[in-house]
């Protein structure tokens, strides 16, 4: 069994643990949080033998071979560097880090290394996203004319919604775009096989001040506490934004990101219009792929393995008609990552299907270009890393 340590015990850390446990090839033996008390509480709840209050102690455990970084954005770069320097395989939450300089440093660190590095861009591992990517690659949809869609949530809609993601020093200079727009960009680049090379962004803030409840609100918390007292916090990061993009082959697209769209929880929507047909996929109904035609009735393909392309069928974990979603895509992502480690392959020799630090760094360059475009009100080139 491959021995694993998890850093971060909030919303996403336990999701990593659940996915790893479904594989049967890896064992989570340690968890770290920002306090010993929280680490021990989570270790007890999740039946994990070792609990630490910091990443250094976890890295000193010689049995651990792989470390998952599930902490808030502001410590991603520092913790990722520590994991690499400790000689352990690393799987980082997105965004990879907070700045382009950090992205370059992390890419340089792993460039010639044998360590397997992954970034948690999970949406590319849904069956129907993989089916879409295969359909584009096989020429089924023809020449890509345009790509559009968005990522919509409502958990920051109210003035009293608050989380570390709002604060640039903890979440980064961009919020909605870095948090969920980054997912749209990775998924679209994966599906179309084309890099985004230029962007034009218009970002907006709905609440210029938010009321933050005393103490830390949990991620995606919708608790309404009439007794609570609030601090007034000024807001510098966007609640929504419109982004136009240009791809490397000159094809174009646009999308909207929003964390203030009532009723939408995690609507990641991708539409590709090609010269033969259209594809449309929505993460809130993830088992369906809409195929749009000009000269015959439209179709709704579901993720029954027998209906998918042969090389994609295994990404549907159960027979058709059994509901699969985000936890199953997470399992697919972990399965690919751990199989890659077990195979002894090197990322520089064979590009894996999961996102690597190079993909994470590329998305950081898109985030950087989006921020600059919004500030300068013009098209900005995405820098190569
Ligand atoms: N891939 C996805 O779909 C997805 C979904 C949700 C969140 N995320 C990402 O996951 C990350 C964490 O988000 P979350 O919602 O779980 O946050 P959270 O606030 O719920 O949890 C963060 C955890 O990190 C721990 N932590 C903070 N600083 C630490 C440190 N220095 N050392 C050790 N532990 C530390 C905290 O104790 C807490 O347990 C974010 O970067 C976010 O973008 C990704």
Task: Please report, in tens digits, the pLDDT of each residue of the chain (385 residues total).
Answer: 999 999 999 999 999 999 999 999 999 999 999 999 999 999 999 999 999 999 999 999 999 999 999 999 999 999 999 999 999 999 999 999 999 999 999 999 999 999 999 999 999 999 999 999 999 999 999 999 999 999 999 999 999 999 999 999 999 999 999 999 999 999 999 999 999 999 999 999 999 999 998 765 555 555 566 667 889 999 999 999 999 999 999 999 999 999 999 999 999 999 999 999 999 999 999 999 999 999 999 999 999 999 999 999 999 999 999 999 999 999 999 999 999 999 999 999 999 999 999 999 999 999 999 999 999 999 999 999 9
CATH 3.30.465.10 is held by the domain 2-122: no
pLDDT at 63: 98
Determine the Cα–Cα distance for residues 377 and 122; give it in Å rounded to an integer.
Answer: 31
Contact predicate 203/149, CB 8 Å: no
pLDDT at 214: 78
Domain ranges across the chain: 2-122, 123-320+357-381
pLDDT at 221: 59
pLDDT at 213: 85
pLDDT at 228: 76
Distance 38 CA to ligand 1 centre (A): 13
Say if 2-122 and 123-320+357-381 have the same CATH topology.
no
pLDDT at 330: 98
Q: Which residues contact 376 (CB under 8 A, 6 or more apart)?
A: none
**b/e for 188-208, b at 16 or more Cβ within 10 A?**
bbbbbebebbbbbbebebbbe
Q: What single-letter DSSP state applies at residue 181?
A: I
Q: Which residues contact 194 (CB under 8 A, 6 or more apart)?
A: 144, 247, 248, 249, 251
pLDDT at 226: 64
Phi then psi dihedrals of residue 91, to 5 deg: -125, 115
Average pLDDT value for the chain: 95
Listed in order, strand segments (DSSP E) in the chain are 2-7, 26-32, 50-52, 66-69, 89-92, 117-119, 144-152, 196-204, 209-213, 230-234, 240-247, 252-258, 267-274, 278-282, 288-292, 299-302, 380-381
Both tokens of residue 323? Answer: 């509901």
Determine the Cα–Cα distance for residues 274 and 276; give it in Å rounded to an integer.
Answer: 5
Distance 109 CA to ligand 1 centre (A): 23
Listed in order, strand segments (DSSP E) in 10-138 are 26-32, 50-52, 66-69, 89-92, 117-119
DSSP labels, 208-235: SEEEEESSPPPTT-----TT--EEEEE-
pLDDT at 217: 54
pLDDT at 2: 98
pLDDT at 73: 95
Distance 80 CA to ligand 1 centre (A): 13
Q: Which of 170, 212, 177, 168 is nearest to 196 (CA)?
A: 177
Q: Which residues contact 322 (CB under 8 A, 6 or more apart)?
A: none
Give the other-Cβ count within 10 Å of 102's Cβ: 19
Length of the chain: 385
Phi then psi dihedrals of residue 271, to 5 deg: -125, 130
Determine the Cα–Cα distance for residues 44 and 214; give it in Å rounded to an integer.
Answer: 27
Pairing of strands 278-282, 267-274: antiparallel
**b/e for 149-171, b at 16 or more Cβ within 10 A?**
bbbbbbbbbbebbbbbbbbeeeb
Contact predicate 329/353, CB 8 Å: no
Ligand 1 site, CB within 6 A:
7-12, 32-34, 38, 54-55, 70-73, 75, 93-94, 120, 122, 179, 218-219
- Atom 3 (ligand 1): residue with closest C-alpha? 122
Q: Which of 12, 68, 181 to mutate to test the pocket of ligand 1 (most atoms within 8 A of CB)?
A: 12
Distance 92 CA to ligand 1 centre (A): 10
Q: Which of 8, 39, 129, 223 to mutate to test the pocket of ligand 1 (most atoms within 8 A of CB)?
A: 8
- Atom 30 (ligand 1): residue with closest C-alpha? 34
CATH topology classification for 123-320+357-381: Dihydrodipicolinate Reductase; domain 2 (3.30.360)
Distance 91 CA to ligand 1 centre (A): 13
How far, rounded to the nearest angstrom, does the alpha carbon of residue 14 sit from its chain's CA centroid?
15
- Model-level pTM? 0.95
pLDDT at 284: 97
């Amino acid at each position: 069994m491959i021995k694993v340590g998890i850093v971060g015990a909030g919303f996403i850390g336990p999701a990593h643990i659940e996915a790893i446990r479904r594989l049967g090839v890896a064992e989570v033996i340690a968890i770290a949080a920002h306090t010993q008390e929280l680490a021990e509480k989570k270790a007890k709840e999740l039946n994990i033998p070792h609990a630490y209050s910091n990443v250094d102690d976890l890295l000193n455990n010689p049995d651990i071979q792989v470390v998952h970084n599930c902490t808030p954005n502001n410590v991603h770069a520092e913790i990722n560097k520590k994991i690499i320097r400790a000689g352990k395989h690393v799987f980082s939450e997105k965004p990879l880090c907070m700045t382009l300089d950090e992205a370059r440093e992390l890419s340089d660190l792993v460039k010639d290394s044998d360590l397997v590095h992954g970034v948690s861009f999970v949406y590319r591992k849904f069956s129907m996203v993989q089916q879409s990517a295969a359909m584009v690659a096989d020429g089924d949809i023809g020449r890509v004319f345009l790509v559009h869609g968005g990522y919509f949530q409502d958990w920051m809609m109210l003035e009293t919604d608050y989380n570390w993601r709002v604060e640039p020093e903890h979440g980064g200079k961009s919020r909605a775009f870095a948090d969920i727009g980054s997912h749209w960009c990775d998924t679209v680049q994966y599906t179309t096989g084309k890099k985004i090379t230029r962007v034009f962004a218009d970002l907006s803030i709905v609440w210029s001040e938010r009321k933050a409840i005393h103490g830390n609100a949990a991620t995606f918390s919708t608790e309404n506490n009439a007794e609570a007292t609030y601090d007034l916090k000024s807001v510098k990061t966007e609640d929504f934004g419109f982004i136009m993009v240009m791809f490397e082959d000159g094809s174009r697209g646009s999308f909207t990101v929003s964390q203030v769209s009532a009723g939408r929880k995690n609507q990641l929507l991708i539409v590709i219009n090609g010269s033969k047909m259209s594809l449309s996929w929505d993460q809130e109904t993830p088992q369906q792929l809409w195929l749009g035609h000009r000269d015959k009735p439209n179709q709704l393909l579901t993720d029954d393995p027998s209906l998918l392309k042969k090389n994609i069928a295994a990404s549907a974990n159960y027979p058709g008609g059994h509901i699969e979603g985000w936890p199953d895509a997470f399992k697919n992502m972990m399965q690919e990552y751990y199989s890659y480690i077990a195979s002894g392959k090197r990322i520089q020799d064979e590009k894996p299907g999961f996102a690597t630090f190079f993909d994470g760094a590329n998305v950081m360059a898109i985030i950087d270009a989006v921020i600059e475009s919004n500030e300068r009100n013009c098209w900005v080139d995405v820098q190569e890393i």
